[in-house]
Amino acid sequence: MSVPTLELNDGHRIPQLGFGVFKVDPAETERIVLDALEAGYRHIDTAAIYGNEQGVGAAIAASGIPREELFITTKLWNDRQAGDDPLAAIDESLDKLGLAQVDLYLTHWPAPANGHFVNAWTKLVEIRDAGKARSIGVSNHLPEHLDAIIEATGVTPAVDQIELHPAYQQREVTSYGARAGIAIEAWGPLGQGKYPLFDEEPVAQAAAAHGKTPAQVVLRWHLQQGYIVFPKSNRLERMRENIDVFDFELTTAQQDAITALERDGRVSAHPSEVN
């Protein structure tokens, strides 16, 4: 199955749909990622704090898929932002992944109370320039954090990976991204199962109209807005379902009805509270 790619602001391309390994058991990661690769995913999103980079690396090695066909993202954790520690952190991640370079390296949270997120971004620029990351970006950064890092370095992140689903759409951040050329990646794109998203009438009606599942409809809603998504599942059947979203299109009315579900329904932590 061919997943479309989007061009980032640095000229590199990213598959618009990938596979996330948040909360995937490190002992099961190799098997689960191999299943995802078998299902057609080529974009894998991990992070140092997940504790499963080694499993991702083992799956990459075992898959036999050429490196240039894969897009691998990992992230710098909050307690590694100070001084030159980001330079050591990327080396540790690359060693665990068994790679010379990641396709995308992100600052995981701004962790503003720690006061090091601008330093972290300056070090990510060094990491990119050293060839250890092809593209660099951020996660969970709000406009004030983006303003600070861009002003300090003159470098605009390629992506901002944020909590985003129909009940919580972060329009201030997505509008900033649209103006600045920052691609938006949606984590928790299905609301992490923390509210009955699939029972919402616009979602259920669109699923019935297209002969698709509610999850497929919500993923399609993201894709049609130009967002990058990486749903997670431990089951091969669900992985195949989540990637099978490129043979239909929501109508403008269906898209708008799902967009109207916005209600400031954050299901995870606020970026100012994670330090």
List the catalytic residues: 50
One-letter identity of residue 265:
G
| Alpha carbon distance 106, 231 (integer Å) | 18
Neighbours of 135 (CB within 10 A): 24
Q: Cα separations (Å) of 180 from 71, 156, 197?
A: 23, 8, 30
Query: Taking the CA of residue 51 as centre, how many other CA atoms within 13 Å lie in the half-sphere pointing to its CB?
Result: 6
User: How is residue 172 written in tokens?
Assistant: 């201030």
Q: Are strands 5-7 and 13-15 parallel, antiparallel or unpaired?
A: antiparallel
DSSP annotation of 3 reads P
